Amino acid sequence: MMQKIDNELISRLVGLNVSMYDDAFLNKSVQKRMTDTQSDSSGAYSNLLEQSKEEVTKLVDSLHISYSEFFRNSLTYSVLERIILPSLVQRKKTSGNKQLRIWSAASAAGQEAYSLAMLLEEFNSTYDEKLNYRIFATDQCDVQVNLARQGIYSADALNNLNRRRVKQWFTKQGDSYLVKPELKEHIDYSVFDLFSEQLSTPPASIFGDFDLVVCANLLFYYKPQFQEIIIGKAGNCLADKAYLVVGETERDILRRHNFNEVFPQSGIFQIL
């Protein structure tokens, strides 16, 4: 039976404001840790947290949303590939501004950023004049950021990729696949807290003015007031007529925040 969790107590024990998380997600995470540690009550689990730094780390890690996939939403990436990115590239050429700037705001182990880089590199291969682009990929977890920098994935992690992309962008090493160096050249990985009060954009980007911000499959883990913080931070750093991308189950959240979906069901939005 699901036991009531004392958010204030858990926050104090782990040194993290867990009240920001959606209640269902938080309870599920704590209940799983209780099961794994054979804690038969919330009190017993609280005592364990007080005594074990290792368990504190495991609970905090379970709250860091780190799941991702290459080309996770096929419709979103199809619209990006066929409509959004070509229009952005044309806009850059017309304006004389040569650099396309993208922020992957919750990049986990790098699948999202590398997916975007594949699209842009493939786009570049069809034109004599190469597009200069930069992808700023951030995550709140330094472990995930280091995994992203390494770019090493299992065969199962590549299930969403066709054989051509696997052959073109990865080198097989034993049972693993390593991202080729040329796909990493335009990506800057760094640790970044979306709830930071001091920083509005990744320091490496120097300023915002992003043409595309991808913040997919993250919002629904948080309560509405914290969703607003993320959306506000992402929205404030968008360039004129830029795009914000969210997960397919998060589309209604954007609609409630003065965003318009540019293509039905795509999760790709612009500010109204």
User: What is the DSSP code string of 257-268?
Assistant: TTEEESSTTS-E
DSSP state of 131: P
> In the chain, how many domains are there?
2
Q: Cα-flanking dihedrals φ and ψ of residue 52, to 5°?
A: -125, 110
What is the pLDDT, as a whole number, of residue 223? 95
pLDDT per position as a tens digit, 161-183: 999 999 999 999 999 999 999 99
Fill in the DSSP letter of residue 2: P
Please say if the pLDDT value at position 4 is more than 70: no
Residue 199's DSSP bridge partners are: none
CATH number at residue 176: 3.40.50.150
| pLDDT single digits (tens) 213-250 | 999 999 999 999 999 999 999 999 999 999 999 999 99
> In the prediction, which pLDDT does 165 show?
97
* 2 lies in some domain: no
Half-sphere exposure of 70 (CA within 13 A, CB side): 23
Indicate if 94 and 198 belong to the same structural domain: yes
Average pLDDT, the chain: 91
Task: Please check whether residues 37 and 103 belong to one and the same domain.
Answer: no
pLDDT at 1: 43
Same domain? 140 vs 225: yes
Is residue 196 domain-shared with residue 234, that is, in the same domain?
A: yes
Task: Return the amino acid letter for 116.
Answer: L
Question: What is the rounded average pLDDT of the residues 33-56?
Answer: 91
Q: Using H for helix, E for strand and C for coil, what is the string for 47-95? A: HHHHHCHHHHHHHHHHHCCCCCCCCCCHHHHHHHHHHHHHHHHHHHHHH
Long-range Cβ contact pairs of 7-10 (< 8 A, separation 24 or more): 9/46, 10/46, 10/49, 10/59
Beta-bridged to residue 172, according to DSSP, are 177
Band (pLDDT 50/70/90 cuts) for residue 3 is low
Asked if 188 and 245 sit in the same domain, the reply is yes
Structural domain contains residue 209: yes
pLDDT band at 5 (very low <50, low <70, confident <90, very high): low
User: Could you report the per-residue pLDDT of 185-204, keeping only the tens digit for each?
Assistant: 999 999 999 999 999 999 99
Q: Is the pLDDT of residue 103 over 90?
A: yes
| 69 in a structural domain | no
Angle at 253 between CA 248 and CA 256, to 5 degrees: 135
Which one-letter amino acid corresponds to residue 222?
Answer: Y
Residues 129 and 251 placed together within one structural domain of the fold:
yes
Asked if 88 and 126 sit in the same domain, the reply is yes
106, 132: one domain: yes
- Does residue 136 sit in the same domain as residue 169? yes
Q: Which residue range forms the structural domain that includes residue 47? A: 7-63
When pLDDT is averaged across residues 39-62 and rounded to a whole number, the result is 90
Q: Is residue 262 domain-shared with residue 209, that is, in the same domain?
A: yes
Quick check: 2 pLDDT over 60?
Answer: no
CA angle 114-140-101, nearest 5°? 45
Radius of gyration of the chain (CA): 20
Lowest average pLDDT, out of 30-34, 60-64, 70-74, goes to: 60-64
C-beta separation of 245 from 268 below 8 A: yes
N-terminal to C-terminal alpha carbon distance within the chain: 45
In Å, the largest CA–CA distance within the chain is 65
Has residue 258 been placed in a domain? yes
